[in-house]
Amino acid sequence: MNIYSRTVTALKSITIFEIVLTLVLAVALGVAFWGWTFIYDLAKPFLKLSGLSYLVAGFWILASVLVPHIVRKPGIALLASIMAAFVESLLTHWGLMSVVWGIVQGLGAEIIFFIFAYRKWNLFVLMLAAALSSVFSYTLDYFLYDYKSLSMNFNLIQISTFILSSILFAGVLSFLLGKRLVRLGILDQFLIAKDQHV
């Protein structure tokens, strides 16, 4: 069975419980993203001039990695990212533009999970998903904020710190949170608890 066939089969196997969990977690993360906005706004003036403002931006990638890490089904990264971004859009000054970021970030992570046929969920894969999600997000920012007017070095600093931040705040954090939640026994009905050897 090829990757496409396995993906279609997995997509058809999504349960109502998995959809509900995805939406609940996404809403919670959307509220967390709103809270993170205050941290970002406090740190940005000190980091922006040196191109380091993206050091605190990786947290916004979390929905694209954590929720699919738990549910482990096609489309979950995109759904969770969009839903979390929509909730955030209701609470922050970015408005519906947040949803556009959510789509882009979710797509970046989804591509990595698709490449690994939704079967590999180790730390390396989660970090790759977080990294590509941040690259997609930065690409949107590049055109949205006219980053072409900035020097190549400045752009390299920004995207590099965004990737690093995303790997830590989304990739590593998702891996650690997943392990912790499994130990608590609250995810026994989901694939993350049934597939801990991967």
Determine the Cα–Cα distance for residues 138 and 24; give it in Å rounded to an integer.
27
Q: What is the pLDDT of residue 177?
A: 95
Comparison of pLDDT for 190 and 62, the residue scoring more? 62
The crossing angle, in degrees rounded to 10, of helices 62-71 and 16-47 is 150
pLDDT in tens, 108-146: 999 999 999 999 999 999 999 999 999 999 999 999 999
Q: Say if CB 3 and CB 114 are below 8 A apart.
A: yes
| Percent of the chain residues topping a pLDDT of 90 | 79
How confident is the model over 22-31, as a mean pLDDT? 97
> Is the confidence at residue 198, as pLDDT, over 60?
no
Q: Is the pLDDT of residue 12 over 80?
A: no
Number of Cβ atoms within 10 Å of the Cβ of 58: 26
Q: Is the pLDDT of residue 7 over 80?
A: no
CB 51 within 8 A of CB 174: no
Q: What is the DSSP letter of 172?
A: I
Tens digit of each residue's pLDDT (9 = 90 or more) over 75-111: 999 999 999 999 999 999 899 999 999 999 999 999 9
State which amino acid sits at residue 125. Answer: V
Per-residue pLDDT at 14? 84
Question: How large is the average pLDDT for residues 138-163?
Answer: 96
Q: Which pLDDT does position 197 carry in this prediction?
A: 42
Which is more confidently placed, 11 or 122? Answer: 122
Residue 59 and residue 101: Cα distance in Å, rounded? 13
pTM, two decimal places: 0.91
Residue 29 predicted with pLDDT over 70: yes
Residue 195, SS3?
coil
What value does the mean pLDDT of the chain take? 92
Q: How confident is the model at residue 1 (pLDDT cuts 50, 70, 90)?
A: low
Phi-psi group of 95: left, alpha or beta (phi > 0 → left; psi -120 to 50 → alpha; rest → beta): left
